[in-house]
Amino acid sequence: MIKAILVDDEKKALEGLLLKIKKQFPEIEIAGAFQNPEKAVSFVNDNPPDLLFLDIEMPVLTGFDVLSKI
């Protein structure tokens, strides 16, 4: 099983991606879904995923900022 974490500041986008992954890729386990990128960084550092879905444009931290903090 592939463990994934999702990060997107838009609730609808996050929920849509979550539903699509669950429906089309049942072998991917969603370990966490976050709207707050700072909480995601903390979670990822404690629970390293196999796959990370990041929104690039977020108000506090960009997806690239999140990557640099991991």
| Cα–Cα distance for residue pair 13/2, rounded to 1 Å | 21
Grouped pLDDT means (10 residues each) for the chain, 70 residues:
97 97 97 96 96 94 93
Q: Which pLDDT score is estimated for 55?
A: 95
Could you tell me which of 31, 55, 53, 51 has the C-alpha nearest to residue 43? 31
Q: Which domains does the chain have, with CATH numbers?
A: 2-69 (3.40.50.2300)
Q: Which pLDDT score is estimated for 60?
A: 86
Written as six digits, the tokens of 52 are 């990370």
* Phi, psi (degrees; rounded to nearest 5) at 5: -130, 140
Q: Which pLDDT score is estimated for 8?
A: 97
In the chain, the amino acid numbered 66 is V
